Structure 1
Amino acid sequence: MERTAGVQAYYAESAERLGRVYESVSFESVHEALLDLLPEAPARALDIGAGTGRDAALARRGFTVDAVEPVAELRDLAGRLHPGSGVTWRAGALPGIPALQGPYDVVLLSAVWMHLRPEERPLAMGRLAGLLAPGGILLITLRRGEPPVDRRTFDIAPEEVAGHGTGAGLTLLRIVDETADRLGRDAVHWNAVALQLG
């Protein structure tokens, strides 16, 4: 996930607290509207901006998972929270992540895209498209509402994400509009965008 030093500092300083918050809801609960799009195991998955490792739980579904997280404190916390998960943890951030090598059957970005500046988004989408296997699925969740003041985020419409996906050769499968925040925050709601290569 591409973040400024200030944003990375927020996640580093808040790692333990965020671990309690993020891990209080399950992967299946957060991504309920997208689960039917996941490929059958065995499959290769990439979790970008993996945070505390909650979504890298794809490994429990029989997936081989690479989890990319730029904040060392979150990677360390994820290792403690999910020992022996079989997940390969990597440092890296969009829009580039040059060390990654596809192809991946599914790429997940949960609450990551909102940190990318406008000029970074087309570059990041092109990189993600290049990491997908033919028929591979890209799943992006978007935090909506007034951006928080303690870190850089943008309120990004799902239609913009879909447009960048189309420009990178992906096909829109689904836009999900979730009215409620799983953590009970009144000012926050979520969209999800599912795209496919080929």
Structure 2
Amino acid sequence: MSINVSGTEGYAENAPALIEQWKSIAFAEHHAPVLHLIPAGPSDVLDIGAGIGTDAAAFAAMGHRVVAVEPVDRLRAAALALHSSPSIEWVDDGLPELDVLRSRQRTFDLVMLTAVWMHLDEDQRQRAMPNVTSLLRDEGLMIVSLRHGPIPSGRRMFDVSAEETIELAKRQGFRRLLNIQTQSIQAANLHLGVTWSRLAFIKERQAHATVGASLAFA
């Protein structure tokens, strides 16, 4: 049974329609603004909120080792059926705590937070950022997308600014690499005026160590 994760409201109930909708979204088109940042060589990738596994499958096809986190049972089951691969491990876990992942003490070269962060309220975002940070290796990448626009009926979603997210990341020793605005690639969302913030960060080795030291002596 899926754990009760705040922010997943509306996804299980609408899973059949969402699965069909998301099947039409191509990885390369969806992530065109950040493709140049994806590691070229085999890397450990963590995809948080992996949905039906389109991104996880694309990363596996590139030769990466992928841990795909999805707390909604029906989406995770669809992903396993659509994208069975020995290079993808599926995990039932969720933000803000990521208890299952953190208990493993494993770290990654790239963390993807695609259309996930805006489902967390302010307190949850404050708690989530250090937890995500702890899963990323020094000099690793974190890529985030934030949705702006009308909230779909039945969903729990907040209009989270790029500026707030950048500040939260900065406090954890991240340096911003990218901050751009894009339109939706889905026709219905484009018609509604939905836009996206695409953010990318690198976890700096020295900056992170300084943050840790300052906390130790606070």
The answer as to whether partners of 1:46 and 1:106 remain within 8 angstroms in 2 is yes
TM value normalised by structure 2: 0.85
Paired with 2:144 and 2:86, the residues of 1 have a C-alpha distance of: 23
Paired with 1:8 and 1:99, the residues of 2 have a C-alpha distance of: 17
More helix by share: 2
Q: Which runs of 5 or more structure 2 residues have no equivalent in the other structure?
A: 205-218
Q: Pick which of 77-86 and 29-38 moved more.
A: 77-86
Q: Which runs of 5 or more structure 1 residues have no equivalent in the other structure?
A: none
In structure 2, the residue matched to 1:78 is: 79
Post-superposition shift, 1:9?
Answer: 4.9
Give the 5 Å matches for 1:73-152.
73-84=74-85, 86-100=87-101, 101-152=105-156
Post-superposition shift, 1:167?
Answer: 1.0
Q: Which has the larger radius of gyration?
A: 2
In structure 2, the residue matched to 1:48 is: 48
In structure 2, the residue matched to 1:24 is: 24
Per the alignment, in what secondary structure is the counterpart of residue 10 of structure 1? coil
TM value normalised by structure 1: 0.93
CA RMSD of aligned residues (A): 1.6
Give the 5 Å matches for 1:165-184.
165-178=169-182, 180-184=183-187
Percent identity between the aligned chains? 36
Aligned residues: 195
The answer as to whether partners of 1:175 and 1:192 remain within 8 angstroms in 2 is yes
Per the alignment, in what secondary structure is the counterpart of residue 140 of structure 2? strand
Paired with 2:159 and 2:86, the residues of 1 have a C-alpha distance of: 33
Post-superposition shift, 1:84?
Answer: 2.8
Structure 1 residue identity aligned to 2:199 = V
The answer as to whether partners of 2:9 and 2:156 remain within 8 angstroms in 1 is no
In structure 1, the residue matched to 2:160 is: 156
- Specify whether residues 124 and 11 from structure 1 end up closer, same or farther in structure 2 by C-alpha distance, changes over 3 A only: same
